[in-house]
Chain A
Amino acid sequence: MAPELEQTDSTFTAATISATRPARARRTPLTWLRAGGISRLLFLAPLILVFGAFSWYPIVRLVLMSFQQTNLVQPATWVGLQNFSEVIHDPLFPIAVRNTLEFAGLALVFGYPIPLIAAVLISEVRRRRGLYSALVYLPVVIPPVVAVLLWKFFYDAAPTGVFNTILGWVGIAPQQWIQSQGQAMPSLVLESTWANAGGTVIIYLAALTGVNPELYEAASVDGAGLWKKLWHVTLPQMRTVMLVTMILQIIGTAQVFLEPYLFTQGGPANSTLTVMLLIYNYAFGNSLGASYGEAAALSLMLVAFLAAFSLIYLRATRAWSSE
């Protein structure tokens, strides 16, 4: 009864309004409703609710938390910059930063040129290109936990370990791998490169098919050979994608967590303690009680560093990436 009444009432008002005024003259809740405002809102509702609760709100909360002390039981108290100063004066902080830089740097040295070379070779394969792409991408679909635990077994330091056995075939003495301070980080980078390179190769392959063939044709007409075309056409055309994959890789490796957590727990002697692992330890790994404030402060510092780095990177490479 009531809804019906309401409905007739509203149609009546709507009719009167549209009869007495030009429809576009004013925006009222009613015109909004008639223009489909409700359905727009309903369609946007899942996005707004989910992003609001699990993306926008946590970002704000992260910033607030970094200036607070909280133990989830008592109400949070404001402590100003204390969390930041505690993190900076933590003797583990410079170690974690140095290790993360080392991981990112090594990953760049190992992991950056290999996918590019592989992609150029694969794109010129004349038969069974699909086989190459499938093989190259296969490690990417392996769950990272399985990959790390498998490689942990491969890295067994005993002479009967998988890698040590293989090294033994060519007469190399058994290595310590993740048990040695010097080799632990390169070992982590090796596994991480194995696990992630495939995705980058596929991105490059897509970019290579996008290179305008007329450029190759023009180069050929000018008498350029294979190497000259590679240097003067292919690489310049790939420049933008290469710059993007580089920054993405740096941002990704700056957050490395799984490898040090599962391989070494940051050891031996903190030689693989990374920034994300330190954040985890602050918040969840401390038996003396969680320091959420310090974890939030270090998280915020990481985000700020990455944002600043990305901006500088984009600015520095802008001239180079655009034609």
Chain B
Amino acid sequence: MTSLRIRRGGRAPVPEATQGLVLHSDWQRPSVRWGLGGAQLLLLVLLVVGGLGPILWLAKSAITPTQDTLIKPIAVFPHGVDLSNLSNAWTQVDVGRYLLNTIEIAAGSWLSQIIVSTTGAYALSVLRPKWGSLIMGALLTTLFVPSVVLLVPLYIEVVHPPLIGGSYVNSYWAIWLPAGASAFNVVLMKRFFDNLPREIFEAARIDGAGPLRLFISVVLPMSKPILGVVSIFAVLASWKDFLWPLLVLTDASKQPLSVRLPTIQGQTDLGVFLAAMLIACLVPIVGFLVFQRSFLRGSGLGGALKG
């Protein structure tokens, strides 16, 4: 990502006219204007129908009487609006509690990922212990092990933890702590720290700042962009997670919405169920619309890193 930025920043501004795939002069040609412009318009229509459509449909159906949704799923409010679905989702299905559970799980997972990735990356990038490369190697290895295949040993570890004993089924710690073991976060964070100017660290050291002070007052404040990106993806991943909470949270009152939704589907009125689904999407959608820039930058950054 940085190499990309440097390359772009270091280039002298050259007249726009001859650079880029489709030139200004190309746009003057009718074939390009109609062909490419038409393709772009078609894409926009497809995106609105395909990307936005299902969500709009969900929003519409959440406030439509169930019978209408069942008989004429596409019709827009043939017999008016039924807001009771939303309130029923709150009272009958207890969506509020599961939403709170989801938030609690996401908050803990976020904290755990931020603590592990910032302190670890700081140690590896700035303090640089002798055996740092060994740890880095062990971290990179875990990138090649898909997390889902560790389900079985992790599950057994939670049910019968070695050394400490007991069982952590139905404890949020069983979700929070494993969430911290994301090598991707550490690598992303370390790359960012590696590119911070070393002179500032030296200056702080000369001013008498110890490692803790350097971390809290210098490195963290300079890392807000990457902290934002890691935070967004930590919360989003936790919000989207299904299989792991399903396995370790057997007590229904502790489950997040994602685990609860498939279970309640059978015994819930369709309209109420769709309202509950809408509520489950609202937080990530609103979050995306507010932090769109960070989402998209983070997503592109992930690709650049993987590349």
Task: Report yes or no: A141 in contact with B236, Cβ–Cβ below 8 A.
Answer: yes
Q: Which residue of B lies closest to A240 (CB)?
A: B307
Residues on B with beta carbons closer than 8 Å to the beta carbon of A213:
11, 14, 19-20
* Candidates B26, B138, B262, B299; contact of A203 at CB < 8 Å: B299
Contact flags B120-141 to A (C-beta < 8 A → 1, else 0): 1011100101000001001100
Residues on B with beta carbons closer than 8 Å to the beta carbon of A131:
44
Task: Report yes or no: B55 in contact with A262, Cβ–Cβ below 8 A.
Answer: no
Contact flag A162-B265 (CB < 8 Å), given A124-B21, A258-B243:
no
Complex Cα spacing A192 to B236, Å: 18
Interface residues of A in 224-269 (CB under 8 A from B): 226, 229-230, 233-234, 240-241, 244-245, 248, 251, 255, 257-258, 261-262
Task: Report yes or no: B20 in contact with A216, Cβ–Cβ below 8 A.
Answer: yes
- The answer to the question of B172 belonging to the interface, with a C-beta cut-off of 8 Å to chain A, is no
- The answer to the question of A310 belonging to the interface, with a C-beta cut-off of 8 Å to chain B, is yes
Task: Report yes or no: B152 in contact with A299, Cβ–Cβ below 8 A.
Answer: yes
A40 to chain B: closest CB distance in Å? Answer: 5
Interface residue stretch chosen among A48-56, A92-100, A181-189:
A48-56
Task: Report yes or no: A146 in contact with B281, Cβ–Cβ below 8 A.
Answer: yes
Interface residues of A in 279-304 (CB under 8 A from B): 279-280, 283-284, 292, 295-296, 299-300, 302-303
Complex Cα spacing A216 to B54, Å: 39
- The answer to the question of B78 belonging to the interface, with a C-beta cut-off of 8 Å to chain A, is no
Complex Cα spacing A46 to B180, Å: 9
Q: Which residue of A lies closest to B1 (CB)?
A: A206
Complex Cα spacing A59 to B181, Å: 13
Task: Report yes or no: B210 in contact with A143, Cβ–Cβ below 8 A.
Answer: no
- The answer to the question of B7 belonging to the interface, with a C-beta cut-off of 8 Å to chain A, is yes
Residues on B with beta carbons closer than 8 Å to the beta carbon of A79:
none
B244 to chain A: closest CB distance in Å? Answer: 11
Contact flag A134-B4 (CB < 8 Å), given A143-B280, A296-B152, A310-B144:
no
Task: Report yes or no: A46 in contact with B277, Cβ–Cβ below 8 A.
Answer: no
Task: Report yes or no: B181 in contact with A54, Cβ–Cβ below 8 A.
Answer: yes
Residues on A with beta carbons closer than 8 Å to the beta carbon of B198:
none
Residues on A with beta carbons closer than 8 Å to the beta carbon of B211:
36, 39-40, 43
- The answer to the question of B100 belonging to the interface, with a C-beta cut-off of 8 Å to chain A, is no
Interface residues of A in 141-161 (CB under 8 A from B): 141-147, 149-151, 153-154, 156, 160-161
Q: How large is the interface on B (under 10, 10 to 19, 20 to 34, 35 or more residues)?
A: 35 or more
Contact flags B24-51 to A (C-beta < 8 A → 1, else 0): 0011000010001001100110011011
Interface residues of B in 77-113 (CB under 8 A from A): 112
- The answer to the question of B76 belonging to the interface, with a C-beta cut-off of 8 Å to chain A, is no
- The answer to the question of A122 belonging to the interface, with a C-beta cut-off of 8 Å to chain B, is yes
Task: Report yes or no: B303 in contact with A245, Cβ–Cβ below 8 A.
Answer: yes
* Candidates A43, A145, A202; contact of B120 at CB < 8 Å: A43
Q: Please name the 9 residue pairs, one residue from A and one from B, whose CB atoms are nearest each other, closest first.
A: A206-B300, A203-B303, A47-B120, A213-B19, A43-B123, A58-B153, A61-B153, A299-B149, A54-B178
Interface residues of A (CB under 8 A from B): 36-37, 39-41, 43-48, 50-51, 53-59, 61-62, 65, 70, 72, 118, 120-126, 130-147, 149-151, 153-154, 156, 160-162, 165-166, 194, 198-200, 202-207, 209-210, 212-214, 216-217, 220-221, 226, 229-230, 233-234, 240-241, 244-245, 248, 251, 255, 257-258, 261-262, 276, 279-280, 283-284, 292, 295-296, 299-300, 302-303, 306-307, 310
- List 6 A-B residue pairs with CB atoms under 8 Å apart, sorted by A's residue number: A43-B119, A55-B145, A141-B288, A146-B280, A203-B299, A307-B144
Interface residues of B (CB under 8 A from A): 4, 7-8, 11, 14, 18-23, 26-27, 32, 36, 39-40, 43-44, 47-48, 50-52, 54-55, 57-58, 70-74, 112, 115-116, 119-120, 122-124, 127, 129, 135, 138-139, 142, 144-146, 148-157, 159-160, 177-178, 180-181, 183, 186, 210-212, 215, 236, 239-240, 242-243, 247, 257-259, 261-262, 265, 270, 274, 277, 280-281, 284-285, 287-289, 292, 295-296, 299-304, 306-307
